[in-house]
Amino acid sequence: MWCSFPAPSGPGESFEIPDRGRSVMYLTGKERGWIMLYEKLPQPTRERRTYTDEDVAAFAARFADYPVNAQLHVRDVFARRLTWGMSDLGEGVAGRWSGAGGRIVLVGDACHKFTPNAGLGLNNAIQDVVVLSNGLWRALREAENSDGPSGNRLDGETLSEVFRRYHAARQEPLQKDYGRSALVTRLQAWATPLHYVLSRFVFSFAFVAKLVTRFAVSPLLSRGLVLDYVPSSDLPAGKVPWEHRMPSSSSQ
């Protein structure tokens, strides 16, 4: 379950409240804050369910006493909600991402579903679009420079090959992030005794979080792909350099 509300504190706050079979996330932006309430289902299911506003209120009531920061609890921010909703969360990666003779291709949640605790679903959806767009751009350039009748149009066979390469290129990084996302979700919900120990007595220390950020998260982000055909000034350099540079106008 999630809801937004007028931001009760400055932007950039982020807190996670783990519990056995449950967890809470609290985030703030410039004008709004958000909470996400998670509860493990009794067993995995493929059934699609919808929830009413009454269901949302009843679910939030079970979390009413959970803190979201040092001053506020779930009941405090839920009472000021602006938008809200609830759904079951899915995990999985589709085996096929394209079809119909090169006329249909999938990106993001349409072909891979992550639990949102680590935010890796959105990040991977963006990388899907980058890889696919770069592949289409290269294919169009080849078509424009060819002597064939297609000109700047791509036939179904060419599109199918672009989609095949896109799917192949995304598999390794996607599967790694899928595993990371599942791990974060289970750490926050104390899914097993080992997850509990790691969450409660290892990752809760600030110096461990800094080590994970420096040596795991930062290198992962540094490998982010860029659009090959959109010239731009490069991003500021930090402690971990970007592996892929933004293209300059002279390279187009």
**135-160 tens-digit pLDDT:** 999 999 998 887 655 556 788 899 99
Packing angle, helices 193-201 and 156-188, rounded to 10: 80
**211-246 tens-digit pLDDT:** 999 998 999 999 999 999 999 887 777 888 899 988
Residues 6+ apart with CB under 8 A from 59: 1, 37, 39, 51, 86
Q: Are 121 and 92 in contact (CB under 8 A)?
A: no
The SS3 call for residue 151 is coil
Residue 250 pLDDT exceeds 80 = no
**86-98 tens-digit pLDDT:** 999 999 999 999 9
Per-residue pLDDT, averaged over 18-22, amounts to: 96
Range scoring the smallest mean pLDDT among 104-118, 124-138, 152-166: 152-166
How far apart are alpha carbons 159 and 178 in whole angstroms? 27
pLDDT score of 170:
98
Per-residue pLDDT, averaged over 110-114, amounts to: 96
pLDDT score of 147:
63
CA angle 174/246/151 to nearest 5° reads 85
How far apart are alpha carbons 233 and 134 in whole angstroms? 18
Side by side, the strands of the sheet bearing 22-28 are 14-19, 22-28, 32-39, 2-6, 83-85
Q: Are 3 and 84 in contact (CB under 8 A)?
A: yes
Residue 182 pLDDT exceeds 90 = yes
Provide the total of helices (H) and of strands (E) in the chain, helices listed first. 7, 9
How far apart are alpha carbons 252 and 230 in whole angstroms? 8
Q: Which residues of 191-230 are buried (b: 16+ CB within 10 A; e: fewer)?
A: beeebbebbeeebeeeeeeeeeeeeeeeebeeeebbebee
